Structure 1
Amino acid sequence: MLFQIPNILSADELQQIREALAKAEFVDGKATAGWYAKQVKHNQQLKRGAGQELETTVKNALSRHPLFQTAVRPKQIHSLRFSRYSAGMSYGTHADNAMMGNWRADVSFTLFLNEPSTYEGGELVLEGPDDEQSYRLAAGSVLVYPSSTLHRVNEVTAGERLVTIGWVQSLVRDPAQRELLFDIDTVRRSLFAQQGKTVEFDLLSKSVSNLLRQWAE
């Protein structure tokens, strides 16, 4: 399932992250790329271990957002990278690794940290079998997409692109099952908002719980 969440970070959180990154040490992004992705990865990443507080800020923002929680069903947000693209940098077509350490990558996300007006190019492009979708979201907005998706970052031609990339292992491995749970839960919440606790609400709640018992890992 592919979706966007605007303003997942507050203006203060964004400012704090950008100020910290402006003073931080970045290294060649190839250091964390798989053997074939090294050939097409041309960016910089925050030095490992240098952004623990920033990671906590991002994880807390995602953990408190109901859409992210309901759609992704995160078991663990297990990896984060703060990436910087200056003019001339890009990341060619690739799919994310299935395993990152002991964790499976089911869902990926890109959190945009600066406004698209501050750089040119740098579109995140998701490649489908017969079309492509490109994204340059507002600062503080996040794009969530399946980790199995082929994607790339077009060359930045001017300015600087700052993003946080992350990977999640879901409680529910199968994306079709996650989407079905999301649809049922959305209807359940809408019904409750309109009519309160009804017999129909209780039946939908039972269905969500029983499907989670069957599918959750």
Structure 2
Amino acid sequence: MHQLILNDVLPPALLEQVRKVLASAHFNDGKDSATGLARAAKHNLQLPQQEHAALLDAIAQRLFELPELQAFAMPLHVGRPLINRFEPGMAYGLHSDSAYLNGVRGDVAYTLFLEDPASYEGGELQILSRGQTYQFKLSAGSLLLYPCGDLHQVLPVTRGVRHAAVGWIQSQIRDADQRELIAKLKAVPLYIGQEERYRDLAIQTNECIQRLIRMWGN
């Protein structure tokens, strides 16, 4: 599975700070940050990044520190997020993310949901991956990670307002399949390494993991 959901990733104080900003801030046209075909597909509003840089950087730093994100994405860099606003009638049609965003290669995309899903209708994040369609509408403070190369869209909001922070991660490992294999292997020494009889096996497994990272890393 190339997708990962993490719940309650923001401390309550930071989530409350985000909500206060969302309640009073001015939002720009979301097309301002879109390029190519994505520009025509994007119909939403966006919190000005420079104006709220400190808050957005605090979100990125919090995500970078999550052990589960470290294991899954193996990040070199967690990009400063954009906070998007979708009002009734707004949507973001099917598109793919740019390979490089602000000079950083996008390997893993993230969406941090910021609203109670019962407070709005529509607005599901739909991802097309390996011939399957996945749909997500998560609770406030929940994070979704998925490969940047997957086609995706935000379905039209029909009631209420949808806010979400989106961003991109450059990984130590470019390929999603290779990241998944390493993440799964990392769990082995964590569990068996606690027992003395498996200590040598845990050491050898960790050796294999480090060799794979050297082989596949960039």
TM beyond 0.5: yes
Aligned to 1:64: 65
Aligned to 1:178: 179
SS at 2:8 equivalent: coil
Distance in 2 between the 1:213 and 1:146 partners? 21
Q: Unaligned 5+ residue runs, structure 2?
A: none
Return the offset for 1:206: 1.3
Q: Unaligned 5+ residue runs, structure 1?
A: none
Aligned to 2:10: 9
Return the offset for 1:35: 1.8
Return the offset for 1:214: 1.9
Distance in 2 between the 1:33 and 1:195 partners? 54
Map Cα deviations across residues 79-136 of structure 1 (whole Å, 9 max, x no partner). 4201111111100000111111321111101000111011111000012354311110
2:96 maps to a residue whose letter is A
Aligned to 1:146: 147
Cα 1:38–1:200, aligned 2, differ >3 Å: closer, same or farther?
same
Return the offset for 1:196: 8.8
Cα 1:60–1:195, aligned 2, differ >3 Å: closer, same or farther?
farther
Q: Is residue 28 of structure 1 aligned with residue 29 of structure 2?
A: yes
1:169 maps to a residue whose letter is Q
SS at 1:125 equivalent: strand
Aligned sequence identity (%) = 34
State the 4+ residue runs in structure 1 displaced beyond 2 angstroms: 128-131, 192-197
Task: Give the alignment's Cα RMSD to 1 decimal.
Answer: 1.6
1:34 maps to a residue whose letter is T
Q: Is the 8 A contact 1:76 1:168 kept in 2?
A: yes
1:132 maps to a residue whose letter is T
Alignment of structure 1 residues 1-217 onto 2, 5 Å: 1-128=2-129, 130-193=131-194, 198-217=199-218
Distance in 2 between the 1:194 and 1:93 partners? 49
Cα 1:203–1:127, aligned 2, differ >3 Å: closer, same or farther?
same
Return the offset for 1:174: 1.2
Distance in 2 between the 1:50 and 1:44 partners? 15
Distance in 1 between the 2:32 and 2:159 partners? 24
Return the offset for 1:193: 4.4
Aligned pairs, number: 217
User: Which deviates the most, 32-41 or 145-154?
Assistant: 32-41
